[in-house]
Structure 1
Amino acid sequence: MSFLPEPYQHPYKIDPKYKKSVVYFSSEFAIDQALKIYSGGLGFLAGSHMRSAYDLKQNLIGIGILWSYGYYAQARGEDRGMAVQKRRKIYHFLQDTGIKYSIKIHGADVWVKVMYLPADTFGSAPMFLLTTDIEENDYMSRTISHKLYDSDFLTRIAQYILLGVGGATLLEHLGVDPDVWHLNEAHALSAAFHVYDKTRSLEEVKKRFVFTTHTPVEAGNEKSSFDLLYKFTFFGNIPRDEAYQLSGVHGDEFSHSLAALRMSHKSNAVSKLHGEVARGMWQHAEGICEIDHVTNAQNKKYWVDEKLEAARLAGDLKALAARKRELKVRLFKEVADQTGRLMDPDVLTIVWARRFAGYKRADLITRDIEQFEALLRNADRPVQVIWAGKPFPKDFGAIDVFNKIFHITQKYASATILVGYELALSKLLKDGSDIWLNNPIVTREASGTSGMTAAMNGSVNVSTYDGWVCEFAKDGENSFIIPEASPTLSDDARDEHDRLGFYQLMETKVLPAYYSGGDDWWKIVHNSMNDVVPFFDSGRMADEYYTKVYK
């Protein structure tokens, strides 16, 4: 039976395997193109989880924030480089619950309004979305829920309190205390302190909370000033010394992930390799919970093209090739619309598309321009390359890389970069690519998920050996793996090694297979599609959270 009161109960009979009540806190959810409350991989993962919770009839709900302006609208400026646009969103499909309440942020009362996304709207778990952008608040308070990952750090602290304390307060208004409080990253950590404030028992907090970490580098885990958080009422009414002891801080540095590990009874990394990295990273931390792993996955039901899937199930390589060509034509209409390029559906097409971040090395294959140009201009075995992705709007280094790629590709008809990387464009790119290029610095990608949905749609992964790929790849059979660089190499030497490894793969394996004229390529495509399911379908992942983490 659903643990929610009327009228918010799940529209399905809860499967007894998943009767334990769970609330899933996340700062972003990519549930549908129409609901722009996500930025990238974390949201894609959370959206797939919510869809699989619905498919499996789990007793789970999601709590997030209704971002008035979303992340940002990615567009082109007058010089055709990247531009950031802010547009207020309006969602007529969300329901006003009529629930309003105030929470303390920086010692002041801030009003929170709750909107509801019914489960049947997009086929997801029931979703509650919080906003402060209402008339009861002053301008500063209204801006808390304006922009996902606001560049102002003080605003982000307020957002964390909104998600955590605001979400916990919503549960009190609904009259429910779920069995499991799942923190997808540490953004909602203030909820744990809120529960401690009510119970004054760390054991009671630990009994409820589990934590998913997505960050494989200690320096990448967010830190804040403890005193600043205390002034912001992050810890509620907990006395300063008590909050300090609970947090496990040294000096004034508060680690959000460390506190989450200390206040949960179970934590998980998001791939097998990431689990090993995370356990090593936190091995000297005191008082933390067990760190297991649940490898990320994506919702096949949402992502897969039905005709490609039918060809896969039938083992019909000709039908697979024919449908893939149709999907490439569809993608290339978008390319022509955005860039004025008419690409060829009979040419091998590489796509690099995900969040722009330094360690993901979007520009790696362009760093030797002569080598890159030779790849594009090979008359016998030509190649087309498409990039897409959103940098953080204040990550000027990542924006520079985006614009650098734009300028490099200006003189080529067969290479370009697209804007507007959201769910819809992501789907087009996965459907229409032959190669899904993934070249992060090894051990820096906790999981990565874009290659999973690419594989589901007949795109072959060319990747460094990192994240989820380590659990999937059979080099030369279902993917192509760039040989791993020695960890003793300098950063520049490592990047050169990986770039040369990519070009050697293309020359010796990928291009010969694609242009062989036989079934060589389509056998690899078929293997990839077969091997990515069911393990990398989020049904397996959502089930594992119940069996491995929610216990």
Structure 2
Amino acid sequence: MDFKNFKMPYSINPDYAKKTAYFSMEFAIDQSLKIYSGGLGFLAGSHMKSAYNLKQDFVGIGILWKYGYYDQSRNMDQTLNPIWTKKMYSFLEDTGIKFQIEIHNAPVWVKVWYLAPETFKTCPMFFLSTDVPENDHLSKTICHKLYDANESTKVAQYILLGKGGAKLLDEMNFEREVYHLNEAHGLPAAFYLLRKYGGDLAKVKEKLVFTTHTPEEAGNEKHNIHLCHDMSYFCGLTIDEVKTIEGVEDDKFNHSLCALRMARVANGVSQLHGVVSREMWNKYEGICEIKSITNAQEFKYWADKALYQHKEDGDNVEFDIRKAYLKKRAFRIVADQTGNMFDPKVLTIVWARRFAGYKRADLLLADKERFRKMLSNKEHPVQIIWAGKPYPMDYGSISTFNNLVEESKNHKNMAVLTGYELSLSKSLKQGSDIWLNNPRVPREASGTSGMTAAMNGSVNLSTDDGWIPEFAKHGENSFVVPKADYDNWPTLEQDQFDLNNLYEVLENEIIPAYYEKPDQWRKIVHTSMDDVKTQFNSDRMADEYYKLMY
């Protein structure tokens, strides 16, 4: 293939002919390609697959992380031990393209790898690497660890993604009409375009669209503007020129705010998140319109086809047999990792996602007595599994993970698993009856894991956040705890309210229904599978991006 004059490798559906490039720090495409950490990557991976399904004129641009995010292993006492292992991928193609970009006022070589559509059924994808012999050691490390803890390295990574990705499109003579930034990490692409178009911001705006995933201002990344300038983030603009574009006087450069002022249109990732984002950002002048496009996941990749088939056939016996088999298969992983033997007949709750403070992984344990009572109930037994990766430098979340491990030593029906990536995620969704999600409202922008759980016959138990308000019908397709007064109550009171309500729903609705009304329970599972199938399939989402954004 001639990458210097790249052409789309499949014929384009005329409904999706707008030429688009999508920039993201992470993509979860296949278990074997470890370049993602959590929800942002799961979302981006599904988007790439749906772009392929719909034959859109669409390419993905990311970074080839040499050590991935990290590999989650255990210390001798079972607690968390992050390790970094060099990754190798024979299925990526060397494009032969190498070029230089400026980082920290010095030229850095960038090498480009290609993921062909047929490998994992995605749109064409390109991955950038600085780990080449021509670079000095420091430059090589830019693409070593996803979300590196060092601030300068992190800024260099954003420059690699944005400036490197935009320059790659020029190197390939591959004209794009839309530059879609999935989060503000790739924002240097906008400054690259600004220089390319001789400072014409209106021309940049025509091309730039932006997806924000962070529902609170503090969570949006800010770095010292002088550091960013010294790192060559702004492609030659002076600090005063940048401040004029960003519209802020102080020295904290707010990546998301700047993206909202340089983009033609932006979106939040659920209806609720769109509302929250508009409230949060509208106090600033000159920002673009913020729409809502709810995240989704690719049905073809995630859904258990046999479960759906038995449901369509109205064969409840085979449906139950299949679900029991999926549970049994997932429980082999539990036994392998923890030595605990779980029973497929027992109601199984799973909490699995990225560990972060606001997601409150250990909320159920805040009432130790109630937790112990639930886990020791012989008449209506419960099994519970936790899994997920804390950020390797987030010591609060690591401590939560380790506390759960310690607690699990007291219960043979509680397990904490490591290695939460695509493969384990799929197994746990298939092996769970209840997918537990209890973030503080409205901190979860979307939270897509519950969608793929529902695609595998698992019922959501959630606080009313993210995508849940668009999906949930309490007692019909899911269970939702009532809302606390999140505006006026102190955090401790909110947590207590949510904790009590989670237990109320578990003890009085979910557990009795599962054991005493199996037909009613199966109906809830079926309704959940029906309701998630189309509306939360990423084909719908990829279609909406074209219609509403591009």
So what's the TM-score if we normalise by structure 2?
A: 0.98
The within-5 A match list for 1:89-100 is 89-100=87-98
Residue 6 of structure 1: CA displacement? 7.5
C-alpha separation in 2, matches of 1:518 and 1:29 = 39
Alignment match of 2:125 (pick from 121, 124, 127): 127
Residue 317 of structure 1: CA displacement? 2.5
Match of 2:451 in 1: 452
Equivalent AA in structure 1 for residue 63 of structure 2: I
Equivalent AA in structure 1 for residue 449 of structure 2: S
The within-5 A match list for 1:243-262 is 243-262=242-261
Match of 2:373 in 1: 374
C-alpha separation in 1, matches of 2:194 and 2:416 = 48
Match of 1:86 in 2: 84
Residue deviations 1:28-75 (CA, integer Å, cap 9, x gap): 000000000000000000000000000010000000000000000001
Residue 486 of structure 1: CA displacement? 1.7
Equivalent AA in structure 2 for residue 180 of structure 1: V
Equivalent AA in structure 2 for residue 174 of structure 1: M
The within-5 A match list for 1:145-164 is 145-164=143-162
C-alpha separation in 2, matches of 1:215 and 1:320 = 38
Q: Secondary structure at the match of 1:64?
A: strand
* Structure 1 stretch displaced more, 534-543 or 233-242: 233-242
C-alpha separation in 2, matches of 1:123 and 1:7 = 22
C-alpha separation in 2, matches of 1:236 and 1:36 = 30
Residue deviations 1:475-502 (CA, integer Å, cap 9, x gap): 0000001111123222111111111101
C-alpha separation in 1, matches of 2:89 and 2:142 = 19
C-alpha separation in 1, matches of 2:235 and 2:4 = 30
Equivalent AA in structure 2 for residue 75 of structure 1: S
Contact 1:8 1:126 in 2 (8 A): no
Residue 227 of structure 1: CA displacement? 1.1
Contact 2:3 2:95 in 1 (8 A): no
Equivalent AA in structure 2 for residue 493 of structure 1: E
Contact 1:30 1:46 in 2 (8 A): yes
Match of 1:74 in 2: 72
Equivalent AA in structure 2 for residue 436 of structure 1: W
Residue 312 of structure 1: CA displacement? 2.5
The within-5 A match list for 1:222-261 is 222-261=221-260
Root-mean-square deviation (Å): 1.1
Contact 2:25 2:161 in 1 (8 A): yes
Contact 1:317 1:526 in 2 (8 A): no
Match of 2:265 in 1: 266
Residue 241 of structure 1: CA displacement? 2.4
The within-5 A match list for 1:385-464 is 385-464=384-463
Q: Secondary structure at the match of 1:467?
A: coil
Match of 1:525 in 2: 525
Match of 2:42 in 1: 44
Match of 2:167 in 1: 169
Residue deviations 1:125-153 (CA, integer Å, cap 9, x gap): 10000000110001000000000000111
Residue 5 of structure 1: CA displacement? 6.1
The within-5 A match list for 1:29-40 is 29-40=27-38
Match of 2:338 in 1: 339
The within-5 A match list for 1:429-508 is 429-487=428-486, 488-508=488-508
Contact 2:225 2:239 in 1 (8 A): no
* Structure 1 stretch displaced more, 223-232 or 37-46: 223-232
Is 1:324 matched up with 2:323? yes
Residue 7 of structure 1: CA displacement? 7.5
Contact 1:11 1:120 in 2 (8 A): no
Residue 517 of structure 1: CA displacement? 4.9
C-alpha separation in 2, matches of 1:304 and 1:281 = 35
C-alpha separation in 2, matches of 1:370 and 1:528 = 32
Contact 1:268 1:292 in 2 (8 A): yes
Alignment match of 1:60 (pick from 51, 58, 61): 58
C-alpha separation in 1, matches of 2:38 and 2:507 = 32
Residue deviations 1:211-267 (CA, integer Å, cap 9, x gap): 000000011100011111111110112233222212222210110000000000000
Q: Secondary structure at the match of 1:411?
A: coil
Contact 2:4 2:171 in 1 (8 A): no
C-alpha separation in 2, matches of 1:49 and 1:6 = 26
Equivalent AA in structure 1 for residue 44 of structure 2: A
Residue 540 of structure 1: CA displacement? 0.2
Gaps of 5+ in 1: none
C-alpha separation in 1, matches of 2:316 and 2:401 = 36
Q: Secondary structure at the match of 1:156?
A: helix
Contact 1:10 1:119 in 2 (8 A): no
C-alpha separation in 2, matches of 1:102 and 1:370 = 60
Q: Secondary structure at the match of 1:462?
A: strand
Alignment size in residue pairs:
547
Equivalent AA in structure 1 for residue 133 of structure 2: E
C-alpha separation in 2, matches of 1:415 and 1:9 = 52
* Cα 1:47/1:119, change in 2 over 3 Å: same
Residue deviations 1:299-337 (CA, integer Å, cap 9, x gap): 010011121121232233322211110000000000000
Equivalent AA in structure 2 for residue 299 of structure 1: E
Contact 2:72 2:389 in 1 (8 A): yes
Match of 1:350 in 2: 349
Equivalent AA in structure 1 for residue 252 of structure 2: E
Match of 1:219 in 2: 218
C-alpha separation in 2, matches of 1:376 and 1:7 = 61
- Stretches of 4+ moved more than 3 A in 1? 4-11
Q: Secondary structure at the match of 2:409?
A: helix
C-alpha separation in 1, matches of 2:76 and 2:138 = 32
Identical aligned residues as a percent? 56
Residue 12 of structure 1: CA displacement? 2.4
C-alpha separation in 2, matches of 1:518 and 1:165 = 56
Contact 1:52 1:538 in 2 (8 A): yes
C-alpha separation in 1, matches of 2:51 and 2:249 = 39
Residue deviations 1:73-106 (CA, integer Å, cap 9, x gap): 0011111101101000000000000000111000
C-alpha separation in 2, matches of 1:546 and 1:368 = 47
Residue 11 of structure 1: CA displacement? 3.4
So what's the TM-score if we normalise by structure 1?
A: 0.98
C-alpha separation in 1, matches of 2:256 and 2:205 = 15
Q: Secondary structure at the match of 2:489?
A: coil
* Cα 1:35/1:245, change in 2 over 3 Å: same
Q: Secondary structure at the match of 2:232?
A: coil
Contact 1:73 1:85 in 2 (8 A): yes
Q: Secondary structure at the match of 1:102?
A: strand
Match of 1:311 in 2: 310
C-alpha separation in 2, matches of 1:473 and 1:192 = 38
Residue deviations 1:158-191 (CA, integer Å, cap 9, x gap): 0000000000110110112301000000000000
C-alpha separation in 1, matches of 2:454 and 2:368 = 29
Residue deviations 1:267-304 (CA, integer Å, cap 9, x gap): 00000000000000011111110000100000010011
Equivalent AA in structure 2 for residue 13 of structure 1: S
Equivalent AA in structure 2 for residue 452 of structure 1: M
Q: Secondary structure at the match of 1:486?
A: coil
C-alpha separation in 2, matches of 1:518 and 1:51 = 36
Contact 1:434 1:459 in 2 (8 A): yes
Match of 1:178 in 2: 176
Residue 549 of structure 1: CA displacement? 0.7
Alignment match of 2:26 (pick from 20, 25, 28): 28
* Structure 1 stretch displaced more, 524-533 or 237-246: 237-246
